A = this chain, B = another copy of it.
Amino acid sequence: MTTEELWKKYEEHMFRISAYNLVLSMVYFDNDTIAPTKGDEYRNERMAYMDGEQFSLQTDPEFIALMEELSKREDLDDTRRRIISWQLKDLDAIRNIPKELFVEYSQLSMESQQAWEKAKNANDYKLFEPYLLKIIEMSKRMLTYRHSDLKGYDILLSDFEPGMTIEKYDEFFSLIKRELVPLIRQISLKEKIDTSFTRRHYPKDLQKKLMYRILEYMHFDLEAGLLSETEHPFTNSISKYDNRITTHYYENNLMSSIYSVVHEAGHATYNYQVSDELAKTYVFDNMSSGMHESQSRLMENYLARRDSFWDNLFRDMKELFPEQLEGISQEDFVRAANATECSLIRTEADELTYPLHILIRYEIEKGIFDGSVDVNDLENVWNDKYEEYLGIRPQKASEGILQDVHWSGGSFGYFPTYALGSGYAAQFIKAMSRDLDIDECLSNDEFIKIKDWLREHIHKYGGLYSPSEQIRIATGEDFNPQYYIDYLKDKYTKLYDL
């Protein structure tokens, strides 16, 4: 068969996989947004079965042989070669796992997520603990099937962020600890920025209106996406033209929905701007987690916390909340949006303390996999670390170990990419500011220029390049976390008059 014919066969099989991807994504989205709880058991069993069907398609030996053959063909063009090579790399995570075990794990992780939600609502870690222990045990068992050059937690880290290892993360986080912990201490001695007005009553319906106004400003295409509600905000890109974001509205918190919506819109924009040529290929949605997070953080922190971002929006916000924001200027609002204070909830944390929340999770995960953390004592371990790094101790499990959904689904190795993404974003913003006057774009209601820059330098490639290649393409340099540190130090030194 010619290479072109082989590629056709590959695409036919990929179409089948994409059909299963589509229905499974939508069902998981439904599950996370609206599905009634009493239907869980019936649904879990059948979804696990469908996950198994999908698994069979993905790991079909003939299909893998076809890809391996393609990857040997010299006349395969570079784009196609990369596509195949990423897919083969990712396949390593599942290809040697027995299907039964895969289906068992899939069903366990659904049950475990449902147990997590119940435990969180009941504020009782004990309801979730047996599931977490099973998930940890299963995750370790899954690792025994991997044919990687790496070992243990390194394998998981590299699944979420190709090229990253414990060694490299240790270096990254020690820089963060060294540079940021003293800065946070210094700030804690200064006078606090007034954020009390952000805690007034902001009715959900009006918050929703504000969200659609912000999305409009960001040129978010609502014919190719939507905004929904969940316990834990997330983005699900079902296809280039179907990008779904969710948020959670707290009526006593103005900032939460704003920054979660901008954050998720950042993720959604990445997939929306993948080039048409790549949109139906494997690299539409295989970007590393750190790269994806860089795009959400860029919008959330590096754009939406600037004064100029609000030049076109603050007036609308005041119209929606005339009483709540009485006497509050745009400057007051932006200062509040940048205020820093040690707090318990990661998703509500400010830009400066955020990486410490990640550091805590990274250290615990590392300990789970090297055996240095007692898995039967995780709630205490969690609370102790919060006391150590942030000086505060969770009093409720829902504000402590139960706050995040990730572990319930077995996503170990994912958290560290959140801090890394913020680091990547600092470097991207630096590069962008060489080509664009960012404040002018924001102020002139030309967010589209920023989106265009991101599309041309990053988004259009999807996951065609490794994180380090992509960073070099967009910025002309290797990843350098110093940009991130410098940005935070500069910003907070000024904000708190240090």
Report the separation of the CA atoms of residues A274 and B30 in the bound assembly, to the nearest whole angstrom.
24
- With a cutoff of 8 Å between Cβ atoms, the chain B residues found around residue A224 in the complex are 36, 38-39
Tell whether A205 is near chain B: CB-to-CB under 8 Å.
yes
Interface size on A, residues (CB 8 A): 40
Chain A, 125-144, contact with B by CB distance < 8 Å: what is the 0/1 string?
A: 00000000000000000000
- With a cutoff of 8 Å between Cβ atoms, the chain B residues found around residue A42 in the complex are 22, 239-242, 280
Report the separation of the CA atoms of residues A30 and B30 in the bound assembly, to the nearest whole angstrom.
8
Shortest CB distance A50–B (Å) = 5
The winner among A15, A36, A49, A222 for most chain B CB atoms within 10 A is A36
Tell whether A226 is near chain B: CB-to-CB under 8 Å.
yes
Chain A, 20-48, contact with B by CB distance < 8 Å: what is the 0/1 string?
A: 10111011011000111111011100110
Q: A23-B46, A27-B23 are in contact. Are A37 and B223 (CB under 8 A)?
A: yes
Report the separation of the CA atoms of residues A318 and B35 in the bound assembly, to the nearest whole angstrom.
32
Complex: chain B residue closest to A225, CB-CB: B36
Report the separation of the CA atoms of residues A381 and B319 in the bound assembly, to the nearest whole angstrom.
52
Tell whether A16 is near chain B: CB-to-CB under 8 Å.
yes
Complex: chain B residue closest to A280, CB-CB: B42
Tell whether A221 is near chain B: CB-to-CB under 8 Å.
yes
Give the copy number.
Answer: 2
Top 4 A-B pairs, shortest CB-CB distance: A39-B242, A38-B241, A19-B46, A38-B224
- With a cutoff of 8 Å between Cβ atoms, the chain B residues found around residue A205 in the complex are 205
Shortest CB distance A226–B (Å) = 6
Complex: chain B residue closest to A37, CB-CB: B223
Q: Is the CB of A38 within 8 A of B242?
A: yes
Q: Is the CB of A226 within 8 A of B34?
A: yes
Report the separation of the CA atoms of residues A224 and B35 in the bound assembly, to the nearest whole angstrom.
9
- With a cutoff of 8 Å between Cβ atoms, the chain B residues found around residue A35 in the complex are 226, 242
Report the separation of the CA atoms of residues A53 and B16 in the bound assembly, to the nearest whole angstrom.
10
Q: Is the CB of A50 within 8 A of B23?
A: yes
Report the separation of the CA atoms of residues A242 and B23 in the bound assembly, to the nearest whole angstrom.
18
Report the separation of the CA atoms of residues A424 and B458 in the bound assembly, to the nearest whole angstrom.
63
Q: Which residues of chain A in 354-371 are interfacial with respect to chain B, using CB atoms and an 8 Å cutoff?
A: none
Contact surface of A with B, Cβ cutoff 8 Å: 15-16, 18-20, 22-24, 26-27, 29-30, 34-39, 41-43, 46-47, 49-50, 53, 205, 221-226, 228, 238-242, 280
14 residue pairs of the A-B complex, CB under 8 angstroms, read A18-B46, A20-B50, A23-B24, A26-B26, A26-B27, A29-B30, A35-B226, A35-B242, A36-B242, A38-B221, A39-B241, A41-B241, A42-B241, A42-B242
Report the separation of the CA atoms of residues A287 and B458 in the bound assembly, to the nearest whole angstrom.
53
Q: Is the CB of B49 within 8 A of A238?
A: no
Report the separation of the CA atoms of residues A222 and B27 in the bound assembly, to the nearest whole angstrom.
19
Shortest CB distance A475–B (Å) = 31
Report the separation of the CA atoms of residues A16 and B52 in the bound assembly, to the nearest whole angstrom.
11
Shortest CB distance A52–B (Å) = 9
- With a cutoff of 8 Å between Cβ atoms, the chain B residues found around residue A240 in the complex are 42
Q: Is the CB of A34 within 8 A of B222?
A: no
Shortest CB distance A367–B (Å) = 38
Q: A36-B242, A39-B224 are in contact. Are A47 and B22 (CB under 8 A)?
A: yes
Query: Can you name 12 extra interface pairs (CB under 8 A) apart from A16-B49, A22-B47, A37-B223?
Result: A15-B46, A19-B47, A19-B50, A19-B53, A20-B50, A23-B27, A23-B46, A26-B27, A36-B226, A39-B238, A39-B241, A43-B242
- With a cutoff of 8 Å between Cβ atoms, the chain B residues found around residue A34 in the complex are 226, 228
Q: Is the CB of A36 within 8 A of B228?
A: no
Report the separation of the CA atoms of residues A123 and B24 in the bound assembly, to the nearest whole angstrom.
35
Report the separation of the CA atoms of residues A237 and B111 in the bound assembly, to the nearest whole angstrom.
22
Q: Is the CB of B238 within 8 A of A15?
A: no
Among B20, B27, B38, B222, the residue within 8 A (CB) of A223 is B38
The winner among A42, A223, A280 for most chain B CB atoms within 10 A is A42
Shortest CB distance A225–B (Å) = 6
Report the separation of the CA atoms of residues A367 and B346 in the bound assembly, to the nearest whole angstrom.
65
Q: Is the CB of A22 within 8 A of B43?
A: yes
- With a cutoff of 8 Å between Cβ atoms, the chain B residues found around residue A38 in the complex are 221, 223-224, 241-242
Q: A18-B46, A19-B49, A23-B46 are in contact. Are A223 and B36 (CB under 8 A)?
A: yes
- With a cutoff of 8 Å between Cβ atoms, the chain B residues found around residue A49 in the complex are 15-16, 19
